Chain A
Amino acid sequence: MTGGVTRAEYCVMACAEAWRGDGEVLAAPMGAVPRIGARLAKLTFAPELMLTDGEAMIVGGDPEAVEGWLPYRAHLGLVTGGRRHVMMGASQLDRHGNQNISCIGDWKRPVRQLLGVRGAPVNTLNHPTSYWVPRHSRRVFVERVDMVCGVGHDRVAAATPAAARFHDLRCVVTDLAVLDFATPDRTLRVRSLHPGVTADAVREATGFPLDIADDVPCTREPTPAELRLIREVIDPEGAREREVPS
């Protein structure tokens, strides 16, 4: 059953790993692959995770069973209370972990208006934050983001101490690799390469110099049980393959 593991399935599993050890917090995934990953984590090694239906309900072990109510304003309370780990998207991300989902170009008159800052500032200053990038490219991994929505390590260091108090950037999962900030200067490094991806391919797709250790490991294999859950229980329609085509 482990034969023919797709790139999307490695991504799902790597996203699931982001929530390992978090305990009883709300896993807040943005995007199809992180959503599948969060369910996978909950159904395997992190059963205490809380998940929502994407709107106002907290759903329990049985996805149909509502176990709690979380309308937007209560959700914001949960964010600032810190019992949450979000995995957001990023239109741009720099080596310090600054993230942009607002606009491309000059903010005063953007070349391309995107979503807006949304909850990225409140998320990044209050609880663990990870990122999901379905297409690792130089357009996303830039030297400097055009608008800092999610706050990176350099910007936190330059701000008042209250900014750093609960700031906690965890990992960045892309279609090529898993990255984190476990370097002395808290900048991005590659934690693992997905099987079949070379270090050069990741360097080539990144818009700033990226250190990749010679002995960088491969992203681990999903277990047969994990693959079965992904393929038969959580995502039988294959939404993951539409986000990360094989």
Chain B
Amino acid sequence: MDEHSAQDENNKMDTTPLPVSLNPEVIESRNLAPEIELPQIFQKIVQERGNFRDLDETELEKQLEEEEDSSKAFSGKQDPYYGFTILPSQQEGNDVSQNSMNIHDYKKELVDYILIAQNECSLALDMTSLLLSKYKQSSSDTISPFLKSTVPPGSLGLERCHPPEAKESDSILAMCWKRKSLTSSKNLLFDAKERLSKVVDSEREYFQILSNVRDSSWPLVLSNKGGNYDVSVQYSALGGISLGLGLVRKDQEKQSYNFESGLVHQKASLRVDLVSSTGKIIASSKWNWSWGIQEEEDQLLVKIQSAQRVLLEMDVWNALLQEAQICENQGVVFTGDTIVLSCNPEFSLRIFLDTNTEESRQDPEADFLNVDQEEEYDYETKKLSQRCCDAVNAITHILFLQYCRNPNRKLQQAELAMVIDASAPQIIRPLIFYYAIHEEARQFQNWLQNEGIKFEYLPSYPWESAQDFLTFENFLLTNRLSLQWYLDLDSSLPAHIQHNPTLHGTEKTVWKYKDAYNFYKFSSVKNMCQYIEHARKQRGEVASNAIQE
């Protein structure tokens, strides 16, 4: 119906002659509308598409193509009211922007309202002050300076008059106002209760978790960071050098509680590799805390435990690094991430902190696979070298424990005199010490065997007499060993050699040779070997002389 009438009208328009032709004329309003500035274009783009950084050429092209497609599809029905449909959407957009006011807008609004109120108040003050200034000199002080300068004091008067009639609407308004405020205060109370009980619920959850952590005997420490009191879990509670504190925080997205420690590594374990001179790994050993998987259901406790483990391993590593600084004279080379002990030209021990996050292997056989497969070593040798690495790793940890137990271990006077840094841990040095003793003894044995001298080697290591682990730990650090050798140079001449190596090199002459006539001290095996050779020769000459005579 409407269409018909419209068409009719159109027909009429066409038919009725008009003085001015109604043909559309293109008028470029170039002079009227100023060109849009670039900043404005930026603003528009930011409004339409959000962040500027997300604009992507390919995506925009795709969008354009889609738009063209859709415009082709909709080209049939061109809505004359198309323009109107945009308007409401724009309004909605405006509403959204109003709702999401930030704190500065709130502040501005607050200041605005207060300014208005202050303005009103000062107006009233001005008026009354002006009135009172007629009768009292002092009240002119409260008139604002501007008013004082423009209006002479005492220019306002007052007169007695009838009170205005009370309006009925006023009392109704007052009552309604009060009722409304009562209702709103009631609603406010209920709303506040709702919010508060939610807060209380989450608090309860948090504190129950904390008390759970406490019940499993992890100490909690109250820390004060800039006025904020935080309850942190001391995950380094079991021991070690450094202090580790972590916070229990709620993960808002997952609705679960998380343990946040300041550690860089997820996992860390000390690894000892035996490396051949060609750079191939012969054996390797990785320290593994055996207490990792207890029957802990609680994920949080497991996380605390693993943090403790990582921190301990980092402590061990740092102690090693600290010690490596002072034992460079014993062939210890260290870079930031590895320590290399090269006592033997063929092999070297490489110690480093393995922070691989992949699953640590549980069985020792798997560790074996880690090693480069080499044909030149048989299974036995490999097994032995594996044991060597394991031992180094184990003793490192034991000595670390000893270091933690007695951080200020009293060194004896003689040791103190020789040691550069008395407070440094003693982990590498004992290891090298025992290795060096072994090497020396082996050299001597080889020499004796080559010479065909019968001998008896009676080493007595201090740890052999250890009753328990603690004494074992202490015995590993004995400064002086006493190793006995009995030589049978000739059937008539038994010699007794005492080897007294010292951990800190406090004694110069470590070999003491003693036979029926002589007592000599030597600083190295070589010298002593030469002396023994000399003594044998003398003996032989004496003996042959006796036979000749």
Bound pair (A, B): no
Residues of B within 8 A of A (CB): none
